Every structure is written in C-alpha cells, then in structure tokens.
Amino acid sequence: MKVVVYIKKKIIAVIIRFFMHTMNFFITMDDKMVLYLSFDGRSYSDNPKAIYETMLTDAKFDKYQLIWALKEPVIISGCKVIKRQSIAYFYYLSKAKYWVFNNKMPDYYIKRADQVYLQTWHGTPLKRLAHDMPDLGITYYRSKQTYQEMVSAYDKDSQLWDYLISPNQFSTAVFCSAFKVNREKIIETGYPRNDILTTVSDEKIQDIKEKFNIPSNKQVILYAPTWRDNAFNLQGYTFELNLDFTKWHKILGDDYVIIFKPHYLIAQHFVVPNGLSEFVLTMPATADINELYIISDQLITDYSSVFFDYAILNRPIYFYMFDFETYRDDLRGFYLQVPKALPNDICYTQDQLLTAISSGQFDFKRLAAFNEKFNHLQDGKASRRVIDEVFI
C-alpha cells in the first residue's frame, strides 16, 4: 500500500510540474500581482495576512492585484480569493510576480527566474527543524517522507526563496543551519504578524471578547499545545490531553475561562466535559491565534513557538511539559537550554501547573530579559520593513 501511494504521489507531481512548465511558457507574468498563501491554504492568517493588510493601506499598491489562495475560500476585503490546487491557483502561481507563503511548498512548484518568492515562515523555533532534526529512522506521518526525503524537500524549496523573514538574530542563525539558506537572503525584521500585539487597546480586547462571547469580568487562560511527531492515527496527528479540566475548574473556580486551542495539525476533536461548557471554550483550527493572544491574560503551552509571540504582551506564560524527557531525548530536541532560556520554569505535572497559576506569582524581570533577546525588533513596524525591502 505504501509503495502504491508513493508511486501515485510521484506521478501526480510529475504531471503538475509538466502543467506548470506549460503554463509558464504561455502565460505572461504580471509585475503588479501578489499571491498569498498561509499554512497551505488553511486560513487567512499569520505573516502573509499582516503583510497583505499593510499593503492595502499603501497607495503605492492601489493598482496591484492581490490574490489569496484558500482550501475553503471565503470573502476577504480588497482582494480576489481562489481555491488552492484549482486551475485558477496554478494560473496565478504562474502569473504573479510575488509569492508570499509561510511554510514549505511542494517540490513540484516551478518558479520563474524573475518571480520573487518571499518565505515568511511562521515562528521563532524552540524545537529543531529540517537539517537540525535527528534522523529517527521513521516515516513522517504528515509528509509520508523519510528523514532524507524530508530534508531534501526543504532544500528544494529553500533554493527558490528570494527572501526569508527572521524575527531575531537567534532565528537567523537557526534558519541558516536548518534550511541551509544563505544569510544574504534573510531579512531580520521581526515578524509582521506581531505588529498588532504592540498596539493592543482595551477597546480591541473588548471587541474580540464579544466576538467569542467571553465575559469581560473573567480571567482568560489560553492553552495552546503543539503536536508530537510520533503520535498519529489514520486521520492525522493526535494529542494526549494529559489533564483534567474538571479539576482545573475546581481549583481555579468561576473567575476563569480556558480557551483551548490545539495546533492546527492535531486532527482529533476534543469534547468538553459535561457542565464545563462555560469554563472551557474550544477554538477551531482556523481561528486567528493573534486574536486569542490579545484577549488572554495568561498563556499555557508546551513546545509550541507561540510563547515567543505572546511574550510581547508582557503577560504570564506557563509551560506544561508532561512528556519533557521523551520530547527532548527521543523526538525533536531543542535549540535553547530548557528551561533556563525560557521566560518561566517547566511544570511537569498538572498539580504543579495549577499551583503555579493559582499562586499568582510570575517573574516579570525574567520575561523582560527574554523579550530583550527575542522580541527587540517587534516595534509594530515589521510589515512595513518587509514591504520596503521586497516589493518594488
């Protein structure tokens, strides 16, 4: 079965490459056209969204045609929206002068020599990436690739990048190592998606809380765990919910609301325990996590890069790493010295986590030192710097 799937994928890739070569021959590129794609078309979000919305405010781009590709198209003000992997999608891949993408693209993409590929990426890395990952001798569920095939796919994509956004000096060094990309291609600007986090107003917080029906008089905790490479089934990656929300409610009480936002790659659906529907709110994969940052008073995560962004808000961050040794030693491993380099210590058990939260104690000086190293470029102008660097 695996051999059949592999051969089928290779045949499809060859067909698409031939199709794109043909389109590039017949279609004239438009110097004033930009194609945006975020998380492979899963949502209108992240760095591409921030860059797009800043371009809308600039009269210089009034005559540009801006195209968004989505798996499930929705109306987006100011642009044309197309379905990813449709005929129109490949047409605009060929015609657009600029590609603005935030994750690795398939190796069958054909880029013209005079097209500009802006790879924005999507996070400051805690866990190791691409060439820096250990070879576990496994086939990765999501890509159906071996380690060597995985790094080869990264190499093919990174060779097409004209620009790669980095949020800080640390990430620049990591990207050079993990993606084998030349330093000259990297623009160290801070992340555009975080511009909004530097200008948060009470009015904005209230508007978003009303959008999600969250009471304004309650403390909001965002719980945003990530996926594990070795935990999956036929539907996708799975996640062990190693906690008891009933216990959380008993200890934290009715003064709190938990927003549960698993990583978008986690396929399973989580059911809120009976009687806790007003205490635990689950969010869809398409929800803009920046909005969830803005309305949350505290963050709980594990190995996700979300804490780098959330730290900009200068609010408490807690790390619940119940499988820390396994993740560190048997899966990805870390770029940072954990927990020393984090803005808080690790909680290994649910009881440790709940005690830390209910105590109300948090070392803001440690958080300030963390921000000085990783978020000093986040001044609300990253989108502008990227646009000035990339677009003619």
SS3 352: helix
Q: Is the confidence at residue 236, as pLDDT, over 60?
A: no
The average pLDDT across 380-384 equals 97
More confident residue, 322 or 269: 322
The domain made up of 2-194+380-390 has a fold known as Rossmann fold (3.40.50)
Mean pLDDT taken over the chain: 89
CA trace torsion 69, 151, 46, 365 (10° rounding) = 180
Residue 371 has pLDDT above 90, yes or no: yes
Query: Could you report the per-residue pLDDT of 302-348, keeping only the tens digit for each?
Result: 989 999 999 999 999 999 998 888 888 876 789 999 999 999 999 99
Asked if residues 207 and 184 have their Cβ atoms less than 8 Å apart, the reply is no
Cβ pair 187, 143 in contact under 8 A: no
- Distance, CA of 231 to CA of 223 (rounded, Å): 19
Sorted by where each begins, the domain ranges of the chain are 2-194+380-390, 196-374
378, 190 contact by CB (below 8 A): yes
The phi and psi torsions of 116 (rounded to 5 degrees) equal -115, 120
Lowest mean pLDDT: which of 125-139, 212-226, 264-278? 264-278
Which residue blocks in 229-333 are alpha helix, DSSP H?
Answer: 245-252, 289-295, 306-310, 324-330
46-97 tens-digit pLDDT? 999 999 999 999 999 999 999 999 999 999 999 999 999 999 999 999 999 9
Distance CA 88, CA 271 (A): 38
pTM, full prediction: 0.90
Pick the CATH number of 196-374 from 3.40.50.12580, 3.40.50.2300, 2.30.22.10, 3.40.50.10420: 3.40.50.12580
The reply to whether 2-194+380-390 and 196-374 are identical in fold is yes
The HSE-up count of residue 224 (CA atoms within 13 Å, CB side) is 25
Q: Decide which of 267 and 152 is more confident.
A: 152
In whole angstroms, give the CA distance from residue 176 to residue 155: 12
